């Protein structure tokens, strides 16, 4: 074989090795230049549905998977801890940082509030996953003796909080109250079964009486409407007749008004003459005052003569002697 053929075969073999190595790196997810980050998460409650290979997400974005699940039981405290080792792929989680500074380590992210919680991935299959997120306000509970890997503290998930709240509910009291309520409803139903038939019969009788009253009221209204129509017709005719009589008596009323005006004028003139005649400086007033004085003197003389006659009736025959 010539040197050219050997070179071709060697290049082909080298290319095949490079392709095989690339396939192993790509499909096997080996990170040669950027190694994966491994951490441990310690759970105390049940992790049902979580298995090796389950997804690890950050706010719903897949960034890794579960690598190992173990259990550690402490006989002294009777507490079972479940350390779960996760593998985070750096190419899926990039942290922006100023140039010239080192990247944030996992311990620094934990100090900033990075927490892990167990959530249900699918209610149909029952599979669970681990979600990572920042929650600086949550309590940081660490377990330094569990693993040499950096630990991510846990926090209660929404489902765990709901379970805790359900556990705190007074279910026995609620059940007793529900039983008592059902018993009360059953008693009320029995009473209604006993009392409803008479009540329905009474309502039916009342309805019949009401129907009769409505029919009588309808007849009375119809009769009243007919009478009202007749009355309105009579009033209309009376109005027309009144208008005609007013038109006929218009001239007489005008004459009467003119005569009344003249009489008022004459009365006003007469009142003026009487006022002038009774004035304090009027001659007529002086004459009237003199006449009144003469009449008063004559009346006094008559009263004196009448007194004398009462005392001596013979004066009527003999008269007064001088």
48, 142: one domain: yes
51 and 7 fall within a common domain: no
In the chain, the number of structural domains is 3
| Alpha-carbon gap, residue 226 to 233, rounded angstroms | 11
Could you tell me if 45 and 157 are in contact, meaning their C-beta atoms sit under 8 angstroms apart?
no
- Evaluate if residue 90 carries a pLDDT over 50: yes
Going by C-alpha positions, the residue among 130, 116, 45, 115 that lies closest to residue 79 is 45
Chain-centroid distance, C-alpha 259:
77
Q: Is residue 205 part of a domain?
A: no
Exposed (0-12), middle (13-18) or buried (19+): which is 131, by Cβ within 10 Å? buried
**Could you tell me if residue 9 is inside a domain?**
yes
Does 22 share its domain with 112?
Answer: no
**What integer pLDDT is reported at residue 184 of this predicted model?**
85
Q: pTM value? A: 0.44
Residue pair 74/112 in contact (Cβ under 8 Å)? The answer is: no
Q: Which of 168, 190, 223 is the last residue of a domain?
A: 168
Beta bridge partners of 293: none
Domain assignment present for residue 267? The answer is: no
The answer to whether position 212 is within a domain reads no
- Per-residue model confidence (pLDDT) at position 33: 47
Residue 313 CA to residue 17 CA, distance in Å, equals 189
User: Residue 301 CB: number of other CB atoms within 10 A?
Assistant: 10
Is residue 139, in this structure, part of any structural domain at all? Answer: yes
Of 168, 193, 222, the one marking the end of a domain is: 168
Statement: residue 309 has pLDDT above 80: no
With cut-offs at 50, 70 and 90, classify the pLDDT of residue 10.
low
Shared domain check, 116 and 49: yes
Mean pLDDT, the chain, whole residue set: 78
pLDDT above 60 for 100: no
Q: What is the mean pLDDT of residues 106-118?
A: 89
For range 228-244, the mean pLDDT:
82
Q: Are residues 109 and 64 in the same domain?
A: yes
Residue 175: inside a domain: no
101/206 Cα distance (integer angstroms): 93
Give pLDDT, residue 211. Answer: 84
pLDDT attached to residue 228: 86
- Chain segment 156-207, per-residue pLDDT in tens: 877 666 666 767 777 778 888 888 888 888 888 888 778 777 877 888 888 8
pLDDT at residue 12, rounded to an integer: 65
Comparing 21-25, 242-246, 303-307, the range with the smallest average pLDDT is 21-25
Per-residue pLDDT tens digits for 14-32: 677 777 666 655 544 444 4
Domain boundary among 139, 168, 197: 168
Encode pLDDT of 256-292 as tens digits: 888 888 888 888 887 777 777 666 677 777 777 777 7
pLDDT of residue 32: 47
Residue 24: its pLDDT value, please? 57
In a domain, 185, yes or no: no
Same domain, 53 and 26: no
What is the C-alpha separation between 265 and 239, in angstroms, rounded?
36
Q: Establish if 258 belongs to a structural domain.
A: no
Highest mean pLDDT: which of 41-55, 98-112, 166-180? Answer: 41-55
Residues 304 and 283 placed together within one structural domain of the fold? yes
Do 3 and 40 fall within a single domain? no
Lowest mean pLDDT among 14-28, 57-71, 101-115: 14-28
Residue 116 sits at the vertex; the CA angle it makes with 113 and 117, to the nearest 5 degrees, is 130
Query: What range does the domain containing 296 cover?
Result: 279-322
Q: What is the mean pLDDT of residues 227-253?
A: 79
């Amino acid at each position: 074989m010539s040197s050219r053929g050997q070179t071709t075969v060697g290049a082909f073999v080298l290319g095949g090795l490079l392709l095989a190595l690339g396939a192993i790196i790509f499909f096997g997810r080996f990170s040669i230049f950027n190694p994966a980050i491994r951490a441990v998460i310690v759970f105390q409650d049940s992790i049902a549905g979580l298995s090796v290979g389950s997804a690890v997400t950050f706010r719903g974005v897949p960034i890794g998977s579960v690598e190992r699940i173990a259990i550690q039981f402490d006989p002294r405290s009777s507490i079972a801890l479940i350390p779960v080792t996760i593998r985070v792929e750096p190419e899926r989680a990039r942290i922006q940082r100023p140039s010239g500074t080192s990247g944030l380590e996992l311990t620094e992210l934990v100090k900033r509030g990075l927490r892990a919680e167990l959530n249900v991935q699918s209610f149909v299959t029952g599979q669970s996953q681990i979600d990572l997120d920042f929650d600086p306000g949550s309590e940081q509970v660490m377990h330094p003796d569990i693993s040499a890997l950096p630990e991510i503290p846990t926090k209660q998930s929404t489902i765990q909080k709901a379970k805790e709240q359900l556990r705190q509910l007074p279910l026995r009291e609620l059940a007793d109250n529900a039983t008592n309520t059902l018993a009360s409803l059953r008693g009320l139903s029995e009473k209604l079964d006993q009392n409803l038939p008479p009540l329905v019969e009474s309502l039916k009788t009342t309805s019949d009486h009401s129907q009769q009253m409505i029919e009588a009221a309808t007849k009375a209204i119809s009769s009243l409407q007919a009478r009202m129509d007749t009355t309105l017709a009579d009033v209309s005719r009376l109005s027309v007749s009144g208008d005609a009589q007013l038109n006929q008596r218009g001239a007489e009323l005008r004459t009467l008004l003119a005569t009344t005006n003249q009489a008022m004028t004459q009365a006003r003139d007469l009142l003026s003459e009487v006022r002038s005649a009774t004035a304090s400086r009027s001659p007529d007033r002086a004459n009237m005052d003199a006449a009144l004085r003469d009449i008063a003197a004559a009346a006094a003389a008559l009263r004196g003569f009448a007194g004398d006659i009462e005392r001596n009736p013979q004066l009527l025959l003999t008269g007064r002697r001088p």
